[in-house]
Amino acid sequence: MSNLYIVATPIGNLDDITIRAKKILQNVDTIIAENTYNSKKLLKKINSNARIIQYNDHSKEKDVEHILDILKNNDVALITDAGTPGVCDPGAPIINISKKYNHKIIPIPGASSIIAAFSVSGISSNEFQFIGFLPKKQKARRDKILEIKNSIMPTIMFESPHRFNQTIKDIDQIMPEREIFIAKEITKIFETFIHGNAKKIQGIFSNENTKGEFVIIINGDKKKKNDTNKNNDIKKIIKSMKKENIQGKVVSKIVSENFNISKSSAYKLFLELP
């Protein structure tokens, strides 16, 4: 069976295309693109003569059938406007149906606005959650922001220019002191990075300067994270001492003195842990 290449494209600066992506896009005869106008600029730069078929949220079943017909005998590349297909774009259905027909799906990795933004944010964490875009309806959006407030890990999201200010306003109302990092127009001429709380960010941006693409990173709840780490440390120590057959009263006294918790709380943990 033929191959479907999932090709990551530059997120702004066209020079960021990888050597492997360039070779694939030059060698395939057909490229599926979310937006043919944007994709033609890239293909012209890399001297690709492949024909472009548009596939987006408005495509119909007959468009999918046409793509499957091409895949019967030819390798095809799938690209998106910017970044990696299948992430916050309509590429996933094509990937799933191609798998169903036993075509080999081959990822061609490249630039990622999510990773690029996180790498320069200065926010330290071994984990984060990516939520795509916030819901459009206000109640659902605020409920999601409340959920983010309670997370101990950083949250990364995309936001559109026309909703950016309202989102920052909602964040300011729900978690005014939370650390936020804004990446605007990554790798483009007007690339901008802002670090601070929501109030500071509101003071910098206005309706006039929210054109472009935004990545928002909200740091996790540091106090809750510290408490979670502390509780994990306590549990490890209690388990270790239980294995040594140290009495519960002795364990609770040691834990209480070293971790500033009551003896009764430490003893309760002692009884609960295996």
**Rounded mean pLDDT of the chain?**
91
Give the Cα-Cα-Cα angle 108, 109, 115 (nearest 5 degrees): 165
User: Which pLDDT score, from 0 to 100, does residue 260 have?
Assistant: 82
User: Which pLDDT score, from 0 to 100, does residue 171 have?
Assistant: 97
The one-character DSSP state at 250 is: H
Q: What is the pLDDT of residues 96-142, one digit of tens each?
A: 999 999 999 999 999 999 999 999 999 988 899 999 999 999 999 99
d(CA 191, CA 169): 22
For residue 219, the tally of other CB atoms under 10 A from its CB is 22
User: Which pLDDT score, from 0 to 100, does residue 189 have?
Assistant: 93
Q: What is the pLDDT of residues 166-175, one digit of tens each?
A: 999 999 999 9
pTM of the model: 0.81
CA 42 to chain centre: 24
Q: What is the pLDDT of residues 42-58, one digit of tens each?
A: 999 999 999 999 998 88
The answer to whether the CB of 184 falls within 8 A of the CB of 212 is yes
- % the chain with pLDDT above 70: 99
User: Which pLDDT score, from 0 to 100, does residue 214 have?
Assistant: 96
Does the structure show a pLDDT above 90 at 270?
Answer: no
- Poorest-pLDDT segment among 29-38, 163-172, 183-192, 259-268: 259-268
User: Which pLDDT score, from 0 to 100, does residue 124 have?
Assistant: 85
- Poorest-pLDDT segment among 107-111, 184-188, 239-243: 239-243
Q: In this structure, what token pair is assigned to residue 25?
A: 């896009």
Close Cβ partners of 118 (under 8 Å, ≥ 6 residues apart): 128, 154, 156, 217
- Poorest-pLDDT segment among 129-138, 144-153, 177-186, 242-251: 242-251
